[in-house]
């Protein structure tokens, strides 16, 4: 991991602390042209919706029960706040316990044209070319 990756992962880690999710905290950062911070996002309920008091997915395995959850994922929020024009050809950094996006977030990342995805769980970095996800869809 180079120093710019470390820098953006530190920002994503700081963003994750804003999450009020009872199960996991995630932070996402979208950058473009290697230096410009485009948008951040963390997992949490939509604007105007109260934070969860009890997790509806508490007993679900990772990757299951998304239909029960009231929150948006960090990747979703970052994409929403960035918009297509700013996110296109960008790089997304995700910090959190599981460092690969769910299938729904993969579709959103592909749709806005993110070129590179890096996930970090505090120990391991994974790097994806989102175009490789097309076969999964």
Domain count, the chain: 1
55 with 74: CB under 8 angstroms?
no
pLDDT per residue over 77-126, tens digit each? 999 999 999 999 999 999 999 778 988 999 999 999 999 999 999 999 99
Domain that holds residue 130: 3-136
pLDDT band at residue 61 under the 50/70/90 scheme: confident
pLDDT band at residue 57 under the 50/70/90 scheme: confident
Q: What is the pTM of this model?
A: 0.92
Set 6, 61, 64, 75: catalytic member: 75
- What CATH number is given to the structural domain containing 116? 3.40.140.10
- Residue 115: what pLDDT? 96
100 flagged as catalytic = no
């Amino acid at each position: 991991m180079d120093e710019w990756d470390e820098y953006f992962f530190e920002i994503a880690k700081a963003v994750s602390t804003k999450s009020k999710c009872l199960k996991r905290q995630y932070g996402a950062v979208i950058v473009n042209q290697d230096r410009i911070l485009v948008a951040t996002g963390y997992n949490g309920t939509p604007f105007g919706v109260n934070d969860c008091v009890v997790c509806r997915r508490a007993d679900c395995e990772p990757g299951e029960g998304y239909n029960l959850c009231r929150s948006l994922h960090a990747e979703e929020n970052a994409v929403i706040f960035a918009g297509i024009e700013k996110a296109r050809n960008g790089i997304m950094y995700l910090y959190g316990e599981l460092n690969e996006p769910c299938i729904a977030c993969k579709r959103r990342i592909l749709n806005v044209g993110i070129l590179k995805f890096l996930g970090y769980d505090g120990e391991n970095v994974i790097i994806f070319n989102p175009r490789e996800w097309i076969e999964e869809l």
